[in-house]
Every structure is written in C-alpha cells, then in structure tokens.
Structure 1
C-alpha cells in the first residue's frame, strides 16, 4: 500500500517552516536501479550514514529512498537539542556495562557534539549551532535525589570537569523559574536548528555524489546475494548493502514490528519574547533546559528568541499505529501551555505560533542497536529514545564502519544483532498505557505536594531502563 503524502504545513513544525530550504519533494524512484549501497530513510540516521560512508570512501554509489521528504520524521520535529546525553542515564549505564564502557560512550557523545558543529561549518550548514551546555533543574525536593545521583555518576566516571552541581540559589540565578531547588550543568552540549541540519545534510551528501529519491514507499526488503528495496515505483538493488535507517518507522516492516515501539512527543513554540520578558525569565545562557519529571520535559531557547516546550505525547496506540491524525489531534497541547505558565507565570498571556508532535523509537531495553550482516547484506540502526540528534550520528558512523569492514570498538554495546523484542499485543498496549498513566499521576501528585501513588514503585520499575 502506498502512503499518502503529508505536507510540511500539515506537520506544523517550526523547524521545517523556518529551515530556509525548498521542501518540494525530490523526484520519486521510477524504474529499476543498481547501486553499491541503498539506504531506507532520509532523516538523520540515513543521511549521517551516507555522509560517513562517503567521507571514508568517496567512490561509493549510494542512493537514499524516503517515503515522504528528508526531515519528515523525528529529524524535523524534535526539540532542537544537540545533547551529549545517551538514551540510558549514566548511573544505569554503569550498572549495566561498567565504568570503562560508560565513560567511553559518554565521551564519544560529547565529542560528537563538537564534530556536528565542525561538520556544519565545513559543509556550510547554517544550523544555528550554539554550544551552550545542558542545564537540568530539580523543581521540587523530591527531584533532588535524582539530580544528586546523576552528578555522583559523573564523579564515578572521572568526568567531574565540565559538570557542576548547583544549589537552589545558583540554579535560580541562571533560570528564574518557579520552585527551583537545585540543578546540574554540563558544559558539553547545546542547541541546534534540526530542520536546517537535516536539510543541509541532504544537500551535503548529494554534493558528495549520493542520490536521494523522495515520495518513494518501500514495500518490501529483500536480502541475500542481490538485496533490494522494492518500492512502489521500482526496485533498487544494492551490490554491497541495504541499510535500514527509518527509526520508529521501521515498525511498519513486518520483521521489525516488535524491535521498537513508536512513542509520541508533543511540542509548542511561543512567539518571540521581548527583552523585558527575557530579563524576567533569565536563561541568558540558552542551555538545553529540563527538569527531573517522570513525563519528561525539554525546553529550548531558539535563535530568534522563542521558547520551545516539549513534553509527553499522544498515548501509545494499539499495534504501534503511527497515525498522523492522532498527532494533530493530540490533547496534550493544553498540558504543555499550562506547564510553561507554571514555570514562568509572566507568560500566562503569551502567544503560541507553532505546535506539532512526532514519533520516536524506543527499544525494549532502551539501548540503541547497530548491526550489519555481511551474509544477508542487511544493516540497520535504530532506538535513540528521544536523543537522536547526536546518538544517530554516533550510530551512523558505527554502521558505516561495519559496512566498510572496520572492526568495532570494544566499548560499544549498542553494536549487536538486535534489541529484545517488545511483548505481543495486547500486553504491549496494556503495559505501556499503564506506565504512561502512572507517570502522569506521579507528576501531578508531586506538583500538588501529595504523596506518590501507591503503585509508583511498580511504575518506575516497569518504565525505566
């Protein structure tokens, strides 16, 4: 079945609306072709993989096929963080893989932030890269233990330099929000315009010789001696490798339906604020900003003086359905408006100019997966759990290396055959919806000064990596 086209205006993303690029889809694949490497997916995963492959071997013929247009998915709808955070938090990473591996992972994430900035400069991509750091606030006494645990993990890793634990007064001096009890600041990380980045990457790989087809549905993936992407318009065969880089959208392929779940995240964006409003808000550093809540929040100060506020998305839909209509009709936009005003009451009458939502991919164990099978000639990268701007680049570089026969590093546990499968329906739907509901009840109880729900421990056990 061929998927209906979705326009950038239908999505509503500010990043796409302000990317400065012509979003008219490129030509679709018509007819059969053969290349060295064929890539499914025109978002960060696919584009970074092509970029690293061509950087190492400029003579490769590479074609990318994208169902809609480059940046259609999470790459054009995210929160604008260029963050060194990994999908699993440092203390949990230490518990699972030890100090040495965790340190290597996090140092690689931090180094990739700088590399993204360097590549943008090298390729002439004006992505508003701002290496301002990451600031996480504790906005209740109940959030302080998580803050302190995270800081202690960086100490255990020997990564105290560039990591600062802030008391209430120090944190409130940086951001004049309500109920600030403390904070932690990382020097590494910053913000970026993801729409400009993804569209700029597409042009960069084309300049290096790659071909991109948009508006091209992949109906079937064939492996073996003559692997292929079978599309609605023709068959694209690959002499060396088929690489699947569709992130959450891989769940539409039968063999990958349980490897990930697509979870939605919701974002609203204010109109540009006045200088007086910014004086009252603080946040002059423009760091990636968040707090320790269970339902997740992330805030970005844009280059033109707006506040982006992202939080929980539409509830998980049965069978990993990824309805665009469910994103547009998402009831959580009012929730986000209320949360922003709760942070800064002076914004009670602020205008919001954009609102959108998108799907991200979550593995059962929260760990990304990178794999290439030389016998089947199939490779893939997925599972960034909302940390895809940097993690997708890390994983793409690893996937490119595997395809080119390079030996992976010892401290890369995400290089593996596959993630554990999610449960079958209806258990998957029931469990995920329960955890979503429980996390919301926990945050509402904390905000109201009430005791946590009786099932809080169970929800945290089920919902954390």
Structure 2
C-alpha cells in the first residue's frame, strides 16, 4: 500500500483545480466606496451582493495571499444550515423569536448558495443531499436524541431534522442511531471560492492579491476610513474586515476570535465495489456525535474527504499558513476513517492539510457595520462559515446601504465580541478542553452516559 501523500500546499481542493496565478497587488493609493479586507467567502459574497444591489459602487477587495487561500479553500465542504452561534445567548439578548428567525434564515441560506452559484454561472459540485449524523455508542445515541428534541425549540420541525435508521443512507460501522437534515449541501470549496472571485471580477469588483493590510483606521473629522497596506492606502466610505481565522493578526483584534486549527485528509478514489459495500450512494455529508467530532463528504470524483481536530491551537494565536499537518494527526484521521469504513481500509490517503477557523469566546458569530467610524466586520463562524458567510454578505450589504430589512434586525447584527483570555491561559484552556473531550470519547465507549469530563470541558469552553 502506497504511504506517500501530499501534505499541506493549501488543500486538495486547490490541488484538484490548480493553484491560481498570483493576482496583481494594489497599484497605489486609491478611493473606493467600499473596501473589503479578505478575499474569502465573506468578502466575496459581500462584494457580490453589494454590486448586484448597486452596480455603480466602486468596490475594492484586498487579499494578503490569493482569493480563497484561507478557510474558504480548505474547509470540509459543508454548506450547513445550522445557526452560526449560540441559540441561548442570542435568545437571552434578543428573545427566542429572534433566535428562531435567524435559524430559519440559515436554513434558507443553503438553497441561496446553490441558487446564486448557478445564477453566477460557475460549477462548484454543489448538491443539496442533506447531512447524516451518526451515534456509535449509547452515550452518543442519548445525546443525539436529546439534541433533536432540543432543536425543536429553535425552529426545527420533523421536516428539518429527524431520527432515522443509521443505515438508511450510509453504512457506518458501529452506528446504532442517526439523524438527518436536508439543510446541508456538499460543495468543492476551492471551486466555490474561485467561482465567486471570477463572478465579482466580471461585475467590476477590483481584487488586489498579495496585498497585506497592516492597519485599519476609522473615520475622523479629517479623513475617511482607511485600509493601510505597503503599497498604498485605500480610503472608502466603509472598510469591512472579513478576515475570520486570520483576525488575530491585527493588534486591536488579537483576542477577538481564536484561530482554531482543523485538519483533513482525502483518499484516492474508491473502487465501485467499496462504495457499494459502504452504501454511500448520494452526496450526503456525514458527521458524528463524538465530542472530538469528525466531518466527511463523498467528493464528486469519488473520494472520501475526512476531517477533524489535530493540533487545535498554536501558542499566541499563531497560524501555519502552509497548512502542513502533523503525521500523528494524519494517522489519527486515517484510523478514524478506517474505523467507520472498514471496506476503505486499504484505500491510500492522497492529500492532508490544515487550516484555521475563527472561534469567538462566547461562540456567537457577528455581522456589523458602524456608520460613525465607517468600519465593519463579520465572522466568528465556529465552523459553519460556508453558509454563514453568504448570510453575512447579504446582511453587510443591507447595513452598508442603510436598508432596513429583516436581515439587519437579526440577533448577530452588532453583537459585542467577548475577548479570549491572554496567554498562557488561552493556550492552556484550549488544550485542556480538547484533552478532556478526547478522554471523554474514550470513556464513553464503556459507559452509557455522557462523560463528566465532557461536561467539564463544556463549562471550560463556555458553550
């Protein structure tokens, strides 16, 4: 069995379609109507919806690397309609009705991504076949049933989420229960990022790559908001930060969103006989009820892309831009994949990579624009960003254009960020939390109830 595989190099998703040619950097100082920092999904969707709503706007996007370089080009390919944040905290501040309304908007966003991608004319392997979540021991099954029941209070009815037989869709080894929701679509992440970048460029949006932003300055009586780069300054009516997991690079927001590391592997294409044995015939996404959870998809070219936590956090919120993954993380993911799909045990790994997502201390995402300072931001999607970025883009559009809509009254608008603890408490807390979750998963193989270690980890994390 071949043991060599590509490690890092952004992601398999970009390896499949090819890394883009470097785009031109900012040619010098200029004036715009809206300046967006970051050419990931948030920045690109915001540019897309703003340009559709008001074609005469001059919109500039500044990107340190290339469009889709960060989480947008490395994620698991789940366009998932789960609320990007905490039901309870949103409800506590804005009421249950507002939290339920935001959940409904997330449901609708999955179809919106599929529809607008088709309207923009690019192919991203988008198929809305839903999400299967499996339980593989009694403790997980108990949590699965409780989670389905709990979601009823937040707008999920039987059509949105229901318990099913674990082998109705995919034959996962050891599965004793499952739930299914239609509100999830598979996507090839890099194709989505490249398609969006091409669409907004065609609309007249200027994307300058290889252009790091070193400072953001608010509106003052003497000047407009500004994004400062080594190549010049972009002044605009609004400067919107869309940097998600890279937000810690700015001194002013260093502790706002923790850059949580997640890792993935993708196999070589599986033989037809293996797919038949697994029974994975559609394009459902797959997750589980472990605390140290996994996420997977069947790719359009017949592979299994399989992800989970590796080394969850680097001291000082540092980021490994190259995406290289530790050997022990690759082996752990490979072992987990074999455990769920013994028929695929001999299928080699083709590529491994990592990336960071933005995690707020209170697990609540935000989309906000300050009309006084002219600055805005969106992010902190806690792993639900492929869909939440689209909702953020539409929300930021309405906020920038000062349109009073249902989106501008969603509970995440203007949400105040709670900062993470300073180091070394931040590093110690995150690693302790995930160590507790790993040990809890091990204990639950032998005990029918959720481990007290997981309960302690939940309290530590504030979830």
TM range (shorter): over 0.9
2:392 corresponds to: 395
Given candidates 37, 40, 43, the residue that maps to 2:37 is: 40
Segments of 5+ residues of structure 2 without an aligned counterpart are: 1-5
Q: Distance in 2 between matches of 1:93 and 1:139?
A: 31
Q: Structure 1 residues 439, 154: CA separation in 2 closer, same or farther (over 3 Å shift)?
A: closer
Is the CA contact (8 Å cut-off) linking 2:86 and 2:364 kept in structure 1? no
- Further displaced range: 55-64 or 312-321: 312-321
In the alignment, the residues of structure 2 paired with residue 297 and residue 90 of structure 1 have an alpha-carbon distance, to the nearest angstrom, of 22
Question: Structure 2 length as normaliser, TM-score?
Answer: 0.93
Question: Does residue 194 of structure 2 align to residue 199 of structure 1?
Answer: yes
Please, what TM-score do these two structures have when normalized by structure 1? 0.92
Q: Structure 1 residues 186, 453: CA separation in 2 closer, same or farther (over 3 Å shift)?
A: closer
For residue 11 of structure 1, report the CA deviation from its aligned partner.
Answer: 2.4
> Partner of 1:143 in structure 2?
140
Change (3 A) 1:12 1:222: closer
Residues 289, 298 of structure 1: 8 Å contact kept: yes
CA distance in 2, matches of 1:419, 1:180: 38
CA offset at residue 164 of structure 1?
A: 4.8
Distance 1:161 1:458, change over 3 A: closer
2:97 to 96, 100, 107: 100
Distance 2:193 2:259 in 1: 20
Matches within 5 A, 1:130-209: 130-157=127-154, 159-167=156-164, 170-209=165-204
**1:227 alignment partner in structure 2:** 225
Residue 217 of structure 1 pairs with residue 209 of structure 2: no
CA contact (8 A) 2:9 2:323 kept: no
1:72-131: per-residue Cα shift (whole Å, max 9, x none)? Answer: 000000001111112346678667765422321121111111111111111111011101
Q: How does 1:257-276 map to 2 (within 5 A)?
A: 257-276=254-273
Shift of 1:323: 2.4
Structure 1 vs Structure 2 CA RMSD: 2.2
2:240 counterpart residue number:
243
Give the counterpart of 2:11 among 4, 10, 13: 13
Shift in alpha-carbon separation, 1:330–1:360, aligned structure 2, 3 A: farther
Distance 2:20 2:14 in 1: 8
Aligned length: 454
Shift, 1:450, TM fit: 9.0
- Aligned equivalents of 2:387 and 2:454: distance in 1? 31
Q: Distance in 1 between matches of 2:75 and 2:310?
A: 12
